[in-house]
Every structure is written in structure tokens, then in C-alpha cells.
Amino acid sequence: MKKITFESIIRMTDSYKVTHWRQLPKGTEHIFSFFESRGGRYDNVVFFGLQYFLKRYFEGQVVTEEDIEYAKEYFALHFGDPTLFNEEGWRYILKEHGGHLPVEIYAVPEGTSIPTSNVLMTVVNTDKKVPWLTNYLETILSQIWYPSTVATQSREMKKTILSYLDETGDPNSIDFKLHDFGYRGSTSVESAGIGAAEHHVNFKGTDTLRGIDVAREYYGEKMAGRSIPAAEHCTITSWGRENEASAYRNMLLQFPKGLVAVVSDSYDIYNACENIWGGELREEVMKRDGTLIIRPDSGNPPEVVVKVLNILGSKFGYSYVKGYKVLDPHVRIIQGDGIDHGMIKEILEAVKREGWSTDNLAKGSGGGLLQKVDRDTQKFAFKCSAACIDGLWHDVMKDPVTDPGKRSKAGRLKLIKESGSYRTVREEDSDLPNELVPVFRNGKILKEYSFDEIRKRAQIQ
């Protein structure tokens, strides 16, 4: 048998959806569904990632004879009942549509920040013989929650850092103030790529190369993120504790120009800053054509960062910007351990209280950036809101008495912008243009966005 792709759209769904073709009311022709954030940690969400999913999983012929034959056997074994798989329906899509998905998707332009509880995307089948297809695709389309949540959280982190830069430093340095260290802590190569690409919407510093690949392949961005030479504990500790200064000197010699980051807490961060960087190697640091970035990597971040700043200030000197101290330009800090949104604010507040500018340090985040989120962080949901039965459209909604927060919207929906504010309405209730634009129809992508466009939309005013 021909090798079957693991990513067949037929099997890219929840088990129970395979049986839903039998469950819709007789005469159902169209199912109209929508995607939204019902609320959560942040009041706004940045919509991002749909283009990736469309280009990877939806575009062109995605249903083949081999896929159908494989699924027929697969689901017979899975359910113990060979009649539950909708073989006829999938063969219809293959024969009549050439294996292209007969659905239409409208969505808000990627990178747009939208208040929660508003429609972000709508999906409806274009062929009345396959109404079951709309929500069959819910599973894979719902995974847009992840890129949208990471993009949202990253943007909120950016807001926090910008507020401190506005007060104590230079806001123009924002692009490289939060570095992505999330590759090894991600659950998969794909999640690392998607998550890192979303972070690049807001920042340009990264060590997660897969995110650059995603931005390049699916959004046409040649180089979404940048990095610098940097040490890890192995490249320091392999010299031996007695040769710690030699390990640091080697970094200065190997990278005599530009930025270089050196993790300096393998043994004693305070001794390293005071007696090695600020003592034995001070003149070499000051003569170097570039900036040494010292990285603490353990302990209580606010406490450690402030103490390191104070030591480096006493050894290398500082000037003042907006009334706050800024280290000599040959020296800076990056804190890359324990960084999430809450910790960023704690560190920057401690730094400000001690009289230091945010200009002095960058942050690196891994799990706190790409992993400390789930679908409930912003309460994302994909729900049916209207059904066309025997030619007539009917409202569809859920309204659980046990949880009013899960009450869903009804009708064929659109997003309008009125007096500068976004609002979700029924299509027939407003003559204002739909802010959702057609992006996909019958296997073809109708609208693509460049990474630069997306970044501009996500900019914080």
C-alpha cells in the first residue's frame, strides 16, 4: 500500500466528529461556525497563525483515494464499526471538488489586537451536501488558540517593558528586550516553531531557530529574529573552577567585537562580577569594541539582578538617563531564568526602585513565554452559531445553566468597527463593512499577509 501521510485532514480531528455526519437534522445544508476568545488573562487578543495552518494543512488537494482507503480501515478498527466513517462524504469531496475542502473562511487580519468576546474567524461549508465538514475542521482550526495566545502574551510583556523604558530609558531599544529561549522547553518542534514565530510579531531576539523557519516558509519573512554569540554552562565549566577567569577571557578573545553574552553564575555570580569581570578582566572588557552581556542564571531574579547591577556599577561606572543610572556601554545584563510576565514586572520594578534604568538589561524567556499557556488562558472556543436547513437559516447556540460564561453567540456573525471600537453583530444588523476578510475558499488561499504587515498591525500605539 502507498505510504499514507500522518497529516491527513481526514484523521486530523477528534474521534467523535467522525460520527457527526449522522447526527445533524435532516435537510441540513450549511453549518456556520465562529472562533472567539471568551475572555481570560488579557482583555485583548492578537489574532495570529491562521495563515500557517491554511498553507500547511488546507491548501490544494488534501483528500486522496489513498487517504480514504486508509481511513476506512483505520476507523473500522478504532470504533469497531465499519459504518461510522463517512466514506461516501469524503469520496464526494474527492470526486466533485478534486480533494479540495469546500469551505469558506473569513478572518480578522493577522496581527490585529481585538477585544475579547468578539468573533475572530468564521467558517461555513460552500457545498450543501457536506454540512458536517465545517465542524469536522474545528479541531485543527481551534489550535490557532496557541499562536494567538503566545502573540497576545508576548505583546502584553512588551507593553510592560515599554512602560518602564518610557519612564527610565530608551523605548527605541524595545525590539531586543525579550529574547526567546523556548526551543528546548516546547512540547514539539512544531509548537516551538509556531510559538517562536508568534513571539517575533512583537520582538526580534531569539535562539529558537524553528520560529525563523516558520516565519520564512509561511509568511515570507527572510529573517524574523536575530541572536549573538553566547556561552552556556558547559563552555564555562569545562575549563574547571580554577580556570573560570580563563574561560571568560577566552570569550573576549574569540569574539573581540560586537555583542557577546556570557553566563556567569556557574559558581558565584557576585564574585564573577566583582573580582573577575570587574577586576582581573576589567581593562580587557573596557578596551573591547562591543558590549559584554553578563547572564545570571539562578537565584531570586529581582534580588540577583539588582545586586549584579550595583556591583557592575561600582566597577565599571555609570551615567544617568532620565534620572536613572545606566552602566558603561561596555557592560549589560540579560536575565534568562524564571522569566514570565509577572516576573518581568517584579524585576523591572526592583531595578527602578534601586535607581537603575531598564536600558541596562534584557530578559530571556523559555517556558514562561511559549509553554505557560493553554486554551483556557484566553478561553478560546469554536462554536456553531447558525444552520441552514431546507433553505432557511436558523440560529444555533448553547446556553448552559451551570455556566453563563459559556453562552455562545447566535446567527451569521461579522465584526464591525464603530467609532474606533470593534463589535460583533449579526450580518443583517449592520451595514458597516465586515472587518473579517475572506482568506480561504474551496482549497484556495485568498489572502496572504507578510510578516512585516503583521508586525505593523501588532505595534503598540
Give the model confidence (pLDDT) of 209-251 as tens digits.
999 999 999 999 999 999 999 999 999 999 999 999 999 999 9
Mean pLDDT of the 12-34 span? 97
Strand partners, 28: 389
Which tens digit of pLDDT belongs to each residue from 66-122?
999 999 999 999 999 999 999 999 999 999 999 999 999 999 999 999 999 999 999
Which tens digit of pLDDT belongs to each residue from 162-198?
999 999 999 999 999 999 999 999 999 999 999 999 9
High-pLDDT (> 90) share of the chain, %: 96
pLDDT at 339 over 90: yes
Mean pLDDT of the 346-374 span? 97
pLDDT the model gives residue 89:
98
Mean pLDDT of the 355-374 span? 96
Which tens digit of pLDDT belongs to each residue from 384-396?
999 999 999 999 9
Concatenated DSSP letters for 237-256? HTT-GGGHHHHHHHHHHH--
pLDDT the model gives residue 4:
55
Which tens digit of pLDDT belongs to each residue from 262-321?
999 999 999 999 999 999 999 999 999 999 999 998 999 999 999 999 999 999 999 999
High-pLDDT (> 70) share of the chain, %: 99
pLDDT the model gives residue 5:
61
Closest to 427 (Cα-Cα) out of 414, 418, 415, 409: 414
Question: Considering the chain, what is the average pLDDT of its residues?
Answer: 96
pLDDT the model gives residue 258:
97
Crossing angle (nearest 10°) for helices 301-316 and 341-353: 40
Give the chain's domains with CATH numbers: 9-148+373-458 (3.20.140.10), 149-370 (3.20.20.70)
What ranges in 209-331 are assigned the alpha helix state H?
209-219, 233-237, 244-254, 269-271, 282-287, 301-316
Mean pLDDT of the 1-26 span? 86
pLDDT at 129 over 80: yes
Strand partners, 226: 205
pLDDT at 21 over 80: yes
Locate 167 and state its grid cell. 519612564
Contact 352, 324 (CB under 8 A): yes
The band of 1, judged by pLDDT with boundaries at 50, 70 and 90, is: very low
Mean pLDDT of the 358-377 span? 96
What's the per-residue H, E or C state across 55-109?
HHHHCCCCCCHHHHHHHHHHHHHHHCCCCCCCHHHHHHHHHHHCCCCCEEEEECC
Q: Is the whole-model pTM more than 0.85?
A: yes
